[in-house]
Amino acid sequence: MTDYPKLGLYIDGEWLRGDGRAAQAVLNPATGETLAELPVASIADLDRALAAAQRGFETWRVTPADQRFAIMMKAAALIRERAEHIARIVTIEEGKPFAEAKGEVVAGAGLLEFHAGETMRIFGRVMQRPSGTRSMVLHQPVGPVAAFCAWNFPALNVIRKIAPAIAAGCSIILKPSEETPGSAVEVMRCLQDAGLPGNVAQIVFGVPDQISRHLLASPVTRKLSFTGSVPVGKQLMKLAADTVMKMTMELGGHSPVLVFDDCDLEKTLDTLVTHKFRNAGQVCVAPTRFHVQEGIYEKFAAGFAERTRAMTVGNGLESGTHMGPLANPRRPDAMAAMIENAQKAGARLLAGGARRDGGGFFFEPTVIADVPLEASAMNEEPFGPLALLRPFKTIDDAIAEANRLPFGLAAYAFTEQGRRQNRLAEELEAGMVAINGVRLTWPDSPFGGVKESGFGSEDGPEGIQNHMITKAVHIV
């Protein structure tokens, strides 16, 4: 496919391909066809990347903030300029509709611009001491970063890892998903063309376990940043513990949605159905467990199912597509298993529930009502186009159910009562809460979870702070 880029590793300013390296196929989820062969990094490649990252850190950490700012702003401008091209690659390799893909790319440019500005706002402080002495606090870049990100937002996830690291003065070795490498390659080309030194940001692909073990065992690596599943995150934390490195972990979620009987029901339904099936539900903050107050439960369920059945599923490059395919052949199987399990437990299937023919990894947007708590989908993140509906009686019941699971990434609530809004904001156990809306991601706002959904924040000033160390200096 002519739109798809030539793939390679980017190490020490060089694009590396072939040369006897192993390779693996990259698939188009809408067709199942092979897009390209992706080179796999060897141990020698990883060692070269580590050595380059150490050199890159030594020079980049002392590069003046205004120079870092200028390079990042130029890269953001290039991403905006190439947004349609990059978005097409996102859709081809990940599956989401083109409009969603373009929105993702533009959001990534905005995030890069925000962090560029933050390079000029890395402040310490000077404390009051007797004349002739001084005590101050310095914030300094932690060192080379090893970052790993998921396939569901193949452009934005890459920028979310790179932007705060290079803004803080760190170098970074990034391992994007092997299922969606083209978007990462195109983002890196924008950084390269903007003048970012090749040893400051590098990308490698390969066997995830081999890469993570090698990078995290190295004394060069001083920070781990990971976006992905809870089990993999826990394994990486164990590896990182051996060298006691700084960590930011953005792990899975299972977002509750509390819908109260005083909400604007039609507006709430329009908002939630669109957001639930964004990127085919393959979003870590996707609304998933819909707890609806008894008085409006059946009306909500009927309205949700009706809107879901009206959605058009198809190739993300085709106009009129509301939802594209799932990203890989594993996801339809996982959806089918969860739906079968829920139905055996007594749940009602209101919409969808089946695979779609067409050669790709398509699955219908699905709504299930009266889902028992013991159903697997109520306890394991579906990460797909599956909406789970249950009624509740009181706010206490709703909060207890929302907080029942060990996850705490995002939570949503819809109610017009101010006191209730304040209580939900306080008591919902999540790193991000949206009330009467669904947007959680802003460049200036922290993005992260609590409990088993991780720790540390990306985005906002906190994103850069998590790439810094704090040093106290006392001069007498």
Q: What is the pLDDT of residue 20?
A: 86
Mean pLDDT (the chain, rounded)? 97
What percent of the chain has a predicted confidence (pLDDT) above 90?
Answer: 97
CA distance 339 to 354: 9
Q: What is the pLDDT of residue 2?
A: 59
Q: What is the pLDDT of residue 356?
A: 84
Which of 104, 178, 250, 458 is an active site residue? 250
452 is catalytic: no
Q: What is the pLDDT of residue 19?
A: 84
Contact 368, 264 (CB under 8 A): no
Mean per-residue pLDDT for 420-446? 97
DSSP letter string, 387-447 = EEEEEESSHHHHHHHHTSSSEESEEEEE---HHHHHHHHHHS-SSEEEESS-----TTS-B
Q: What is the pLDDT of residue 357?
A: 77
Mean per-residue pLDDT for 448-461? 96
Strand partners, 362: 356
DSSP letter string, 89-124 = HHHHHH---HHHHHHHHHHHHHHHHHHHHHGGG---
pLDDT higher than threshold 60 for residue 1: no
Q: 292-304: per-residue pLDDT in tens?
A: 999 999 999 999 9
Q: What is the pLDDT of residue 18?
A: 81
- With cut-offs at 50, 70 and 90, classify the pLDDT of residue 359: confident
Work out the angle between the directed axes of helices 208-217 and 43-60 (0-180°, nearest 10). 50
Which of 284, 381, 429, 458 is an active site residue? 284
Q: 67-126: per-residue pLDDT in tens?
A: 999 999 999 999 999 999 999 999 999 999 999 999 999 999 999 999 999 999 999 999
